[in-house]
Amino acid sequence: MSNTGKRYLEERKKVESGKRYPLKEAVELAVDTARTKFDETADIAIKLGVNPKHADQMIRGSVVLPNGLGKPVRVLAFAKGDKEREALDAGADFVGSDDLIEKIKGGWLEFDRVVATPDMMGSVGKIGKILGPRGLMPNPKVGTVTFDVKNAVEELKAGKVEFRVEKAGIVHSPVGKASFGADKLTKNILALVESIVKLKPASSKGIYLKAISLSTTMGPGIKIDPVDVRNILKAG
């Protein structure tokens, strides 16, 4: 058995099977089980009481995590004229129009997030089959198609994450790095969950936050008690 396998099994023993941990305890446990030499990413999976087959229950949005993601985000902006300068001043790594579109058609994908002004979307649509499957296509619903290029770029650089419910009714999202520590990760998780709760559709009946699981890149999954999270959010 590899050392990685042995390490995982040792960390797995720290997590009580079937237990739903209070949020604070779960995050502290996740940080404690992140024992690799690299800075592991913390990821959360949230099972919602929705049916994504119904258009009004397709949960999708974005949120700026208060403590960011802990890694540099390469932002590409499709813009022209004054908006091109605005994007550069805001910190965009790559800015252009048709030149970048042709570059992407040629296989270049050295960026993490994309912003576009509305007047550029006709051209950007030509590479939709390239950007879409990779989750890079700009979308007005999450604020990445806008004339407010400055704000869009600054939010992405600061750690804005997009989330979308999958077919099984689950939202997956990174929430930071293990090196953040429990306090910063907890604040990021609460910001994400609060945004998701605000998007609860009126047609969703019964329990909305059904299950929550937290894990680091090489660590075991840790179940979080949704009731505890709801209570924390209600308490403000």
**Residue extents of the structural domains in the chain:** 19-69+160-235, 75-157
Q: How far is 89 from 86, CA to CA, in rounded Å?
A: 5
Q: C-alpha angle 231/200/202, rounded to 5°? A: 120
Average pLDDT over residues 204-216: 94
Three-state SS for 28?
helix
- The reported pLDDT for the residue numbered 9 is 67
- Which tens digit of pLDDT belongs to each residue from 44-61? 999 999 999 999 999 999
List, for residues 131-174, the tens digit of each pLDDT value: 999 989 999 988 999 999 999 999 999 989 989 999 999 999 99
Phi, psi dihedral angles at 47 (to 5 degrees): -90, 120
Please tell me the pTM assigned to this model: 0.83
User: Is 4's pLDDT higher than 80?
Assistant: no
Bridge partners for 60 per DSSP: 164
The structure tokens listed for 164 are: 């979308």
215 beta partners:
43
Mean pLDDT value of segment 89-110: 96
As a whole number, mean pLDDT of residues 2-10 equals 62
**Averaged pLDDT, 98-107:** 95
CA pair distance 191, 189, nearest whole angstrom: 5
Say how many residues make up the chain: 236
- Helix ranges (DSSP H) in the chain: 3-12, 23-32, 82-90, 98-105, 121-124, 128-131, 149-158, 182-198, 226-235
Cα distances from 158 to residues 2, 83, 132, in angstroms, run 37, 20, 23
Query: What is the distance between the alpha carbons of residues 83 and 26, in angstroms, rounded to a whole number?
Result: 44
**What 3-state class would DSSP assign to 12?**
helix
Handedness of CA 82, 94, 105, 131 (dihedral sign): negative
Q: What is the pLDDT of residue 86?
A: 97
| pLDDT class of 95 with cuts at 50, 70, 90 | very high
Which CATH topology does 75-157 take?
Answer: Rossmann fold (3.40.50)
Q: Check: CB of residue 163 under 8 Å from CB of residue 63.
A: yes
Instruction: Output the pLDDT for position 13.
Output: 75
CA distance to 121, 137, 193, 232, per residue, from 101 (Å) = 11, 12, 35, 45
Q: How confident is the model at residue 8 (pLDDT cuts 50, 70, 90)?
A: low
How would residue 5 be classed by pLDDT, with cut points 50, 70 and 90?
A: low
Mean pLDDT of the chain: 92
pLDDT of 174 reads: 95
Domain 19-69+160-235 architecture: 2-Layer Sandwich (3.30)
Residue 1 has pLDDT above 50, yes or no: no
What is the band of 37 on the pLDDT scale with cuts at 50, 70, 90? confident
Residue 177 reports pLDDT greater than 50 = yes
